[in-house]
Every structure is written in structure tokens, then in C-alpha cells.
Chains A and B, each alone.
Chain A
Amino acid sequence: MVGDVNAALAVVLKDLRLTWRDRAGWLSAASFAAISVLIYSFAFDLATSDVRPLLPGVLWVTFLFAGVIASGQSFQRESEQGTFDALLLAPVSPSVLYFGKVVSNLIALLVMEVALLLLATILFDTMLITAELVLIVVIGTIGYVSLTTLLSTMGSRLRSRTMLLPVLALPLLVPMLIAAVRATGASLGEPSGSAPWTLLLVVFALWSAAGAALLFPSVVER
């Protein structure tokens, strides 16, 4: 058991190092996300007085698109350089590998999302860095990073992968998107109905992490 935890930590650290080396790629994903927020501002005229109803949607669509694309691209670069295959040869179980991948992706995505929250706080004069909101973002991100990591591992070997990954991932993520937007809205004071959105978000995060962890071995075995 202790050996597994050590192995997991080692994999996470190694993945974080890889991610750091790959920071140019993540930086461009973050830039894409920032530009998306600006584009939405122009398209939906978010310069108006009450931007709150639209803000959760804008944020989460940006997070999802940027996150899905970033995971896909990062995995593609890794497989081009053969680093993922090298990792597979290591004497750790695939589930531990998967866990390491998810954690390092999660950290990179959270950094990106918090930066975006800061940007949005300034642009829209709405306090977005609250404990409640950040917690919702964390749980929601855990929910989607599990699936996108799994799918990008698969997707890198399929042809026409760049467009295919969002097409495959997004329909599966609809419940998470619905719940995250409503929960974020609720924390900003928007009417969001009586459904337990945050609970749904937690359930989705647990479900996707468990499902992906169970299925990952089937994806990497030869």
C-alpha cells in the first residue's frame, strides 16, 4: 500500500515536470481561454450592467473548451515525443499512471482557471475569487479532467483526433456543465432552482473518476 502511494507520488511529480517543460503548450491554451472570454464579451455585449446571469455560462464554456483542447494537445505532444510510452514501461500499474496524469492535468487546469477567474473579476467587476466559487470550480474540474484525460489517451491514436476529442467528450460532460453553471450562478446569487447542483457535481466527479480509473487499464494494455 505504501509502495503504491510512493509510486503514485513519483508519477505525479514526473508528470508535473513534463507539464512544466510543456508549459508553452499550456500557456497557449490559457491564452485561448482568455481570448474566448473577450470574444464572448463582444458577442454577447457583456459590457452591460448586469452580466451575472451570463457569467457562469461564459466561464464554464471557456473552461471546458480550453480544458478539452489543452488535454488533447498535451497528450498529443507527449505521444509524439514517446514520453508516454516510456512511462508505460515503468513497473507501475496503469491505474497509478492514470492517476498521475489526471493530477498533473488537474493542477495545470486549475492554475489556468484561477487566472481566468481573476481576469473575469477585473473585466466584469464581480468578485469571483470566493471560497465557495473556487470550490465549485475545483470539483467541476475534477469531474471533467478525469474523462478528458482518458479520452485524450485514446484519442491520440485515432485519426482526425483534434476535432474528434471535443465531439466525443462534450456530450458526456453535459451533466457536469449544467450542474457547474447552476452552482456557480447560485453562489453569485442567481436564481438556480432547488436542485442540489453542487451535490450533482460531486457525484459526477466521483462517477467520472471511478469509471475512468476502471477503464484506463483496458485502454493501455496491448
Chain B
Amino acid sequence: MSAPGHAIDPPRRGPRDALSALLARVYALRWDVLPPLTGVAMMAMIVGALIVAPRELIEGELQRIMYIHVPSANAFYLAFFIVFVASLLLLWTRDMRWDAVARGAATVGVLFTGLTLATGAIWGKPIWGVWWTWDARLTSTLILFLIYSGYLLARSTSDVNDEQTARFSAVYAILGFLDIPIIIMSVRWWRTLHPQPIVFRGLERPAMPMEMFVVLLTGMAAILLLTLWFIVLRTEAERLAQRTESLRAAIDRREAP
């Protein structure tokens, strides 16, 4: 019996509860918020890249590819970071929903890695004269492409609810992500052994006029939103696949005599 004058305290809602409640509210808005924001931003990016941005002196119109090439690279950085965090969380919490997030983010990462390589090569052909010159950045990107494709390949060898394969894949994804700085460093050192192609120093300009910079930022924001949207969509699909699979298993058990 509580002492007179004391009401029973409601359960303490600390900052962690408030934070996860807030995150849940934000996440619940994803279907309403992401599509229009992404649409507007993407349109702004296209208009900016093709019309607003000034023509570059050395490369001409071709330089406009940079407005989608650089944001594509940012997209896969984000995606693979999400794979890394989701993999850590999967190992820590053993909650298979993080496996769905990791797989969703990995597919989006592989998509944008491929797009970065493709736009890089298309930019490179007229500038360098060949489709591929083992440029340090593109080579590192290629290696990442292989690592995360390998991740998806390994994960797909067993079904969506297999916890063991999910854990192994998470370990591989963590190793891969931690390897990234070492890969970038070693490939860059490797490339400085040989003379670089003459005309350029890389796909970025050291200083650029304000208009170009603004367009680039717009592109980065647009692609980032697109990436988040794709990851959310794909993760939901993976999650549905997991639930369908458990449903199937339950029905199999029920049907068995």
C-alpha cells in the first residue's frame, strides 16, 4: 500500500525511450515524405546539371556528368556505411530485421557503385581516350563493387531467415567495410608508381565557381534522398520476404501429418 500523499510514479521515460519514439515517428512518415522530396530534388538536380550550371572551359559539356557521378559515389558510401552499421547491430542484437536492412542497403550500394563506374568510364573515354585506365578512385570502387557483390552472393546461398548465413555475411560485410581505407590507400600508392594520364588530376576540380558548387550540392542532396528511399523500399521488400518465408514454414509444419 503506497504511503498517503504518494501517487504511484509512471514508468520513467528516459532519453533513450524518447529517442526511439522519435525515430519511430520519423520512420512512419517515410512513405509520405521521401517520394515528393526526392522528386523535387531530382528535378532540381537535372535542371541544375543540364541548364543552370555554366559550361566548363576544358572539357565542355561532358563535364556535366560530374553532377551525377560524384553524388553516385556519395550514395554508395552511405549505403555501405548502413550495411556496416546494420551488420554490427545484427551481430549485437541477433534481430533478423537488421539482416533485411543490410541486404537492402547492399543492393542499393552495388547499384550506385555500378553507376559510379559506368559514368566514370563514359566520362573517361573522350577525356582519356580509353574506357579504363586503372585510375586510383575507379579501381578502388571496382574492388568495393566486388566485395559487396560477393556479400550478396554469399548471403543468397541460403534462405532469407537463415540466421547463421546472415551472421557470416554480416562478419564479411564488417571486414569489407573496415578494409576500405586500406584498399584506397594501397591502390593510390600503387597508381603513383606510374605516370598519370596527362590532362587531368581526377574527377573533381580543386576550386569551382559558386554556381557549379551549388548544383553539385543539389545533386548530392537529391541522390542521397533517392538512396534513402531505395534502401527503405528494398528493406521493406526483404522484410516481407522474411515474413513470407516464416509463414510458409509454419504452414508446412501445419500440413505435415
Contact = CB atoms under 8 A, between A and B. Distances in A.
Most buried by A among B143, B165, B179, B193: B179
A10 interface: no
Interface stretch (A62-70, A124-132, A155-163): A155-163
A207 B150 CA distance: 21
A174 interface: yes
A174 B183 contact: yes
A195 interface: yes
A218 interface: yes
B167 A167 contact: no
B158 A159 contact: yes
Contact of A200 (B172, B186, B192): B186
B150 A175 contact: no
Interface stretch (A28-36, A38-46, A79-87, A146-154): A146-154
A105 to B, nearest CB: 17
B171 interface: yes
B121 interface: no
A122 to B, nearest CB: 30
B174 A215 contact: yes
Interface string A161-199: 000100110011011001100100000000111010100
Interface in A190-218: 191-193, 195, 197, 200, 203-204, 207, 211-212, 215, 218
Contacts of A215: 171, 174-175
A164 B154 contact: yes
Interface in B81-115: 91
Contacts, number: 84
Contact of A158 (B146, B168, B176, B182): B168
B187 A171 contact: no
Q: What are the 10 closest A-B residue pairs judged by CB atoms, nearest first?
A: A175-B186, A195-B189, A154-B168, A171-B146, A193-B193, A159-B157, A175-B182, A171-B147, A178-B186, A168-B150
B50 interface: no
B153 interface: yes
A219 interface: yes
B162 to A, nearest CB: 10
A147 B174 CA distance: 12
B157 A164 contact: yes
Most buried by A among B153, B164, B165, B168: B168
* Interface secondary structure of B, over-half rule: helix
A167 B147 CA distance: 8
B178 interface: yes
A31 B193 CA distance: 34
Nearest to A175: B186
Nearest to B145: A171
B172 A164 contact: no
Interface in B164-206: 164-165, 167-168, 170-172, 174-176, 178-179, 182-183, 185-187, 189-190, 192-193
Interface string B131-170: 0000000000001001100100110011000001101101
Contacts of B150: 164, 167-168, 171
A136 B157 CA distance: 37
Interface string A68-111: 00000000000000000000000000000000000000000000
22 contacts: A150-B171, A150-B175, A157-B165, A158-B158, A158-B165, A160-B157, A164-B153, A164-B154, A164-B157, A167-B153, A171-B143, A172-B175, A172-B176, A175-B187, A193-B192, A200-B182, A207-B182, A211-B174, A211-B175, A218-B167, A218-B170, A219-B167
A167 B91 CA distance: 23
Contacts of A158: 154, 157-158, 165, 168
Nearest to A179: B186
Given A147-B175, A203-B182, A174 B187 contact: yes
Nearest to A207: B182
A157 B189 CA distance: 37
B187 A219 contact: no
Interface string B57-84: 0000000000000000000000000000
Nearest to B193: A193
